Amino acid sequence: MKVMLSIKPEYVERILSGEKRYEFRRRVFKRPDVDTIVIYETAPVSKVVAEAHVDEIIAGTAWDVWDRTGQQGGISRERFMDYFRGASAAHAIALSCVRPLARPQALGDYAPEIKAAPQSFVYVN
């Protein structure tokens, strides 16, 4: 099963370069069969640009997740902690086998059933 995530351009660049091996989220999907992340790059690009395999999802407090993943998170500790301020849990999605699309695709071309970029995530058929 695939899940689409909206990711800011600066972080997409780091994912594609291999610097960012974890995507951090306050909430993650409940389905256990999710094995692929579809990367939707937010404005100004506003296109689906890549797919990546989900190796594992690490959950815990923000400090626990930072200690385990921060060196490969592609984000500063300050920005990480700001993002998780007030959150009851932190999640790190371990990404591997990142595959850029040959040509970035408009959302409607990639997944016609999805009408708008996901705020958090959306399942993709």
What are phi and psi for residue 12, nearest 5 degrees?
A: -60, -45
Domains held by the chain: number: 1
Give per-residue pLDDT as tens, 41-78.
Answer: 999 999 999 999 999 999 999 999 999 999 999 999 99
Three-state SS for 77?
helix
| Residue 91 belongs to domain spanning | 2-124
Give the tens place of pLDDT for each residue, 15-34: 999 999 999 999 999 999 99
CATH code of the domain in which 68 resides: 2.30.130.30
What band does 125 get if pLDDT is binned at 50, 70 and 90?
confident
**CB neighbours of 118 closer than 8 A, spacing ≥ 6?**
4, 5, 6, 40
φ, ψ dihedrals at 68, nearest 5°: -85, -30
